[in-house]
Amino acid sequence: MDIDLSPLETILGATFKDKTLLSIAVTHRSFLNENRAVEHDHNERLEFLGDAVLELVVTDFLFSKFEDKAEGELTAIRAALVNTNTLSEVASRLGINDFLRLSRGEAKDTGRARQYILANAFEAVTGALYLDQGYNAARDFIARELLIRTDDIVDKRLWQDPKSRFQEKAQEVLGKTPTYKTLKEEGPDHDRTFTIGVFLGDEQIAQGMGRSKQEAEQAAAIKGNEAKGW
């Protein structure tokens, strides 16, 4: 079940010397469970490596760019650049989703679980690029696809915790403090999914899903900020 990854190489701006590395980068663990004949590994080790490469490249860039910012703010900006939402958005825009090798079950999931898979695949692709092409190629890719978001994140204070940002703007603009209510709980105790709504007064502004109430509240706040244009 090999797929042609040359379009992905074009997207990445690199022709891989070791094509297997790129194939591994887009192979989810679940795919191997259904395709025992595949001889290479899944992408979790490359994800581990790519995460470290991302952190170094982003840290080096922010350290040089913002000479006046303290460690805490730099850490928050870095977190906003490399979190699941940002990485999955970049991966989606690049079209990495079209090359993912997933189990039939995972292939049907388009929710939060797919965001995690896409973010992890972006890290794995970064790790593969680093191994095959070297640090400079990985750095240039990260700069081109991810670091260009830095000014937007800083200007819009997107590095700030989404709940804090939503509350700050709601109080500033509307004089209201948001509240969060659990709308739905699904799944067994060990694999619970929560749906939580964020409200301003009696009006529901948005809702979010997550594996914990805290994660669902953050997701709802992100949607709330989007809905209000904050």
Asked whether residue 129 falls in the same domain as residue 65, the answer is: yes
CA pair distance 27, 198, nearest whole angstrom:
36
Mean pLDDT of the chain: 91
| Angle at 162 (CA atoms; ends 159, 165), nearest 5 degrees | 85
- pLDDT at 111 exceeding the cut of 90: no
Asked whether residue 173 falls in the same domain as residue 148, the answer is: no
Asked whether residue 149 falls in the same domain as residue 167, the answer is: no
Q: Is residue 1 part of a domain?
A: no
Contacts of 106 (CB under 8 A, 6+ apart): 28, 30, 31, 113, 114, 117
The secondary structure of 17-36 as a DSSP string is SSHHHHHHHTB-HHHHHH-T
User: Beta 179-186 vs 203-210: how paired, if at all?
Assistant: unpaired
Neighbouring-strand partners of residue 186: 193
pLDDT value of residue 155: 87
Asked whether residue 166 falls in the same domain as residue 150, the answer is: no
pLDDT value of residue 92: 94
Taking residues 74-82, what's their average pLDDT?
92
Q: Which amino acid is at 46?
A: L
Asked whether residue 206 falls in the same domain as residue 149, the answer is: no
Residue percentage of the chain with pLDDT more than 90: 69
pLDDT value of residue 182: 97
Q: Is residue 102 part of a domain?
A: yes
Q: Is residue 36 part of a domain?
A: yes
Of 131, 155, 179, the residue at which a domain comes to its end is: 155
Asked whether residue 112 falls in the same domain as residue 171, the answer is: no
Asked whether residue 211 falls in the same domain as residue 128, the answer is: no
Asked whether residue 172 falls in the same domain as residue 224, the answer is: yes
Task: Out of 51, 132, 145, 217, pick the active-site residue.
Answer: 51
Among positive and negative, which fits the CA dihedral 129, 11, 219, 157?
Answer: positive
| CATH code for the domain of 188 | 3.30.160.20
Asked whether residue 189 falls in the same domain as residue 113, the answer is: no
Decide if 209 contacts 112 (C-beta within 8 A): yes
Of 124, 155, 186, the residue at which a domain comes to its end is: 155
Q: Is residue 189 part of a domain?
A: yes
Asked whether residue 148 falls in the same domain as residue 167, the answer is: no
**pLDDT (tens digit per residue) in 149-182:** 999 999 877 787 789 889 989 999 999 999 999 9
- pLDDT at 224 exceeding the cut of 70: yes
| CATH code for the domain of 122 | 1.10.1520.10
Decide if 104 contacts 135 (C-beta within 8 A): no
Q: 61-75, 91-105, 117-131: lowest mean pLDDT where?
A: 91-105
Catalytic, 55? Answer no
**pLDDT (tens digit per residue) in 188-197:** 888 889 999 9
Of 139, 155, 171, the residue at which a domain comes to its end is: 155
Token pair for 63: 């350290």
Domain count, the chain: 2
Catalytic, 51? Answer yes
Asked whether residue 33 falls in the same domain as residue 99, the answer is: yes
Task: Out of 47, 106, 123, 217, pick the active-site residue.
Answer: 123
- Domain of residue 202 covers 162-228
For the whole model, what pTM was predicted?
A: 0.72
